Amino acid sequence: MSAAERFEDESSRDESGEGAGSVLRAAPDVVEVRRNAGVAALVGVVASAVAIAYLARAASTGAVLDWVLALVVGGIGAAYLHAFLDARTPLLLADGQGVRIRLGRAWRGLPWGALASVEHTPRRGLLRDGRLVMVPHNTDRVLAELDAAGRRQSRLSERLYGAPFAMPLGLSTHVVGSEDDLTAALRQLAGDSTRVHEPEPTVEAPREEAVAVEEPADEVVEEPVAPHGHDERDEHAPLIHDPRPGLAAVIGRLAAPLSRRTSGEPEDLHADEADAPDTEPTQPIVASATPAPLRETRGGRRAEVQAEVPVADDEPHGRELRRPGSVNLVEDTQVWSDRVRPIAQPGDAVDPLVIDDFEVEPAADPVIGPDLSAARTRLGLTVDQLAERTRIRPHVIESIEVDDFAPCGGDFYARGHLRTLTRVLGVDAAPLLRAYDDRYADAPINPRRVFEAELATSATGGIRGTRGGPNWSILIAAIMVLVLCWSIARLVMDTPALVQQPSPTLLDGSDGPNRSTPPAPARLTLKTTTDAATHLKVVGGNGKVVFDADVEFGEVHRFDVRSPVVVTASDGGAVAVEVNGNKRGTLGDDGAKASRTFRLG
């Protein structure tokens, strides 16, 4: 039994009183469809780990395939980690007012009255995703009101799931607020304004060849009939592709003798009736006689009655009775005073009389509307221009500017209009919302229902069909498992290639293998610190003068030279020397020329 049949069964039992003892379930406040954060986090972390492993491998080997795999798997991991962060915001939200669907970063609201139907296709196993499709009355109009990102998202949804406003229900998403029966929950929220149903799965019937079954009458009579009604069939009889027409004919022929037997006809006539043709003479249908009346009839006669009703003429003399909506010529016999002036003289233009059904009722002390009106005036926008930018009707904006929130339709929509207006006008919305909650809010605030959504106006149009789509989450998960297994196998089984240095070749005139390579010359780091002005000279081990100049107080010099190093100073006590971080003291006495040689070790 489907969800719709269960719901109708419960409704009929409640109305008839048969289900008085059953437990009544209240309609949920809100139904949300969110991304599955657990699946997104698992796939994102695993893909990121594989991408990091391939990145390390590519850095060591430099193979192009490793770099490509690192980039591809890293992109998949980044996409799923982004989906994990995006799971904090619902993809779809349905409540008593309507359905709000998120297209990218923008919300689109559809009231229940603007939806022709809502189709819920449950999941059919792990290989087929379910989906929730919203079918507006006028799909083209709703799509025209979307921005560029929303239209791209709707086109992608139509290509993947068969409808512009469709939401997949599979492994990558989960439903919050109605875990048992989503169709029943949506039907309770929508009420009688929108049809919520589950489309029946279309199964193609196998093509069957038409088999003509011809059974003569004499063959039916020759079959023995058991007393208890059980017919025995020959196991070796030829099989018929579709035995239902033949069985119906046999049952009809077998039922005819039984009916005659119960009516009292002799059994000896059965053989004769079997040989007789099937056509029977039809008796003409004769109408039954008219029953006699229960009382004596009388002849009719005609009686004329005239009734005169006095009609009171309350209308003044000279005026005519007028039907509603008609204007007749009357005689004006009333004399007006000199203080009464006509609206216009003959030949003058008269301004048209505008009658508005929604008369604005300004508040006695408005606190929200003046701020919005001042911001609109600073930007140089008219009410019509602001209405075009915010998709809010002009008379609603005029009412909000005088703190009349009755045309908004409730606290939820009033807060949404205030957020939209403050965003366009560049005004902080927090103080205005606090002022509205303190002065004008009638219903308690439900934080779960407060979303940036602007409900669309009612639309009319045809219903658009949908088609099924594959389970992309299962496909991506299968690909990720294959890539992970192959990656682990490569990382475990493959070993990096060893880079070997080429062996030295024997050149002409060389000493052969007995030739000894001279060791590299030893080098040391020399640091000199000067405590007074002096002349400093540094000579390296190869006899090259590294430094030869006057130095001042506090100068520090570092030299990387070949050992041994000869350091000479005009004032030996003014220069302190360090070799490879080890202090060697001064060159000599204060005021006297000194020279020292430093070696490595």
Each residue of 293-310: b (16+ CB within 10 Å) or e?
Answer: eeeeeeeeeeeeeeeeee
Residues 395 and 531 grouped into a single domain: no
The domain tally of the chain equals 3
Residues 543 and 429 grouped into a single domain: no
Percent of all residues in the chain with a pLDDT value above 90, rounded to a whole number: 5
- The closest alpha carbon to 436, from 367, 374, 342, 494, belongs to 367
For 78, phi and psi rounded to 5 degrees? -65, -40
pLDDT in tens, 364-386: 788 899 999 999 998 889 999 99
Residues 52 and 186 grouped into a single domain: yes
Q: How far apart are CA 397 and CA 195, in angstroms?
A: 33
Residues 168 and 76 grouped into a single domain: yes
Structure letter (DSSP) for residue 429: H
pLDDT in tens, 127-168: 778 888 889 988 888 888 888 888 888 888 888 888 888 888
What six digits make up the tokens of 420?
Answer: 């939209």
Residues 64 and 185 grouped into a single domain: yes
pLDDT in tens, 389-444: 998 999 899 989 998 888 888 888 999 999 999 999 988 999 999 899 888 887 55
CA distances from 326 to 329, 331, 478, 538 (A): 10, 16, 77, 123
- Last residue of one domain, picked from the residues 389, 416, 449: 449
Please confirm whether the linkage preceding 564 is cis (ω < 30° from 0).
yes
First and final C-alpha spacing in the chain:
95
For residue 101, count CB atoms less than 10 angstroms from its CB and return exposed for 0-12, middle for 13-18, buried for 19 or more: buried
Quote the radius of gyration of the chain (alpha carbons, Å).
50
Residues 60 and 112 grouped into a single domain: yes
Percent of all residues in the chain with a pLDDT value above 70, rounded to a whole number: 61
- 91, 33 in Cβ contact below 8 A? yes
Q: Which residue has the higher pLDDT, 179 or 31?
A: 31
Q: Which residue has the higher pLDDT, 351 or 580?
A: 580
- 34, 94 in Cβ contact below 8 A? no
In the three-class reduction of DSSP (H, G, I as helix; E, B as strand; rest coil), residue 296 is classed as coil
Q: What is residue 382's predicted lDDT score, i.e. its pLDDT?
A: 92
For residue 76, count CB atoms less than 10 angstroms from its CB and return exposed for 0-12, middle for 13-18, buried for 19 or more: buried
CA distances from 14 to 10, 25, 180, 499 (A): 6, 12, 20, 83
Say if residue 513's pLDDT is above 70: no
Q: How far apart are CA 580 and CA 458, in angstroms?
A: 86
- The closest alpha carbon to 111, from 29, 190, 31, belongs to 190
Task: Tell me which residue range forms the domain holding 163.
Answer: 29-199+466-491
Say if residue 186's pLDDT is above 90: no
Q: How far apart are CA 198 and CA 183, in angstroms?
A: 7
- 211, 242 in Cβ contact below 8 A? yes
Angle between helices 472-493 and 64-86 (to 10 degrees): 140
Structure letter (DSSP) for residue 91: S
Residues 403 and 472 grouped into a single domain: no
Structure letter (DSSP) for residue 455: B
Beta bridge partners of 3: none
Q: What is residue 307's predicted lDDT score, i.e. its pLDDT?
A: 66
Mean pLDDT, the chain, integer: 72
- Last residue of one domain, picked from the residues 449, 482, 514: 449
Residues 105 and 41 grouped into a single domain: yes
For 120, phi and psi rounded to 5 degrees? -115, 115
The amino acid sitting at 305 is: V
- The closest alpha carbon to 574, from 551, 600, 597, belongs to 551
pLDDT in tens, 448-488: 443 433 333 334 433 333 344 556 777 787 888 888 888 88
What is the mean pLDDT of the segment spanning 325-329? 53
Q: How many residues does the chain have?
A: 601
Residues 56 and 179 grouped into a single domain: yes
Residue 528: give its domain's CATH number: 2.60.40
The answer to whether position 512 is within a domain reads no
- 403, 367 in Cβ contact below 8 A? yes
Q: What is residue 349's predicted lDDT score, i.e. its pLDDT?
A: 66
Residues 34 and 157 grouped into a single domain: yes
What six digits make up the tokens of 14?
Answer: 């409640």
- 195, 118 in Cβ contact below 8 A? yes
pTM reported for the whole predicted model: 0.35
For residue 404, count CB atoms less than 10 angstroms from its CB and return exposed for 0-12, middle for 13-18, buried for 19 or more: buried
The answer to whether position 457 is within a domain reads no
The answer to whether position 542 is within a domain reads yes
Q: How far apart are CA 167 and CA 170, in angstroms?
A: 10
With a CB cutoff of 8 Å and minimum separation 6, the contacts of 598 are 524, 526, 563, 564, 565, 567, 577, 579, 584
pLDDT in tens, 239-290: 545 667 777 777 777 777 665 555 554 444 444 444 444 445 555 666 566 6
Residue 421: give its domain's CATH number: 1.10.260.40
Q: How far apart are CA 118 and CA 100, in angstroms?
A: 13
What is the Cβ-side half-sphere exposure of residue 275, based on CA atoms within 13 angstroms? 4
The answer to whether position 330 is within a domain reads no
**What order of strands is seen across the sheet that includes strand 166-169?**
166-169, 130-136, 115-121, 195-197
The answer to whether position 275 is within a domain reads no
The answer to whether position 86 is within a domain reads yes
The answer to whether position 256 is within a domain reads no
Residue 104's CB: how many other CB atoms inside 10 A?
15
What is the mean pLDDT of the segment spanning 490-518? 55
Tokens 């190093």, residue located: 565
Say if residue 591's pLDDT is above 50: yes
CA 453: distance to chain centroid? 14
What six digits make up the tokens of 352?
Answer: 């048209």
- 42, 81 in Cβ contact below 8 A? no
Residues 111 and 63 grouped into a single domain: yes
3-state secondary structure 480-531: HHHHHHHHHHHHHHCCCCCCCCCCCCCCCCCCHHHCCCCCCCCEEEEEEEEC
What six digits make up the tokens of 359?
Answer: 């008369």
Residues 477 and 442 grouped into a single domain: no
- Last residue of one domain, picked from the residues 394, 424, 449: 449
The answer to whether position 475 is within a domain reads yes
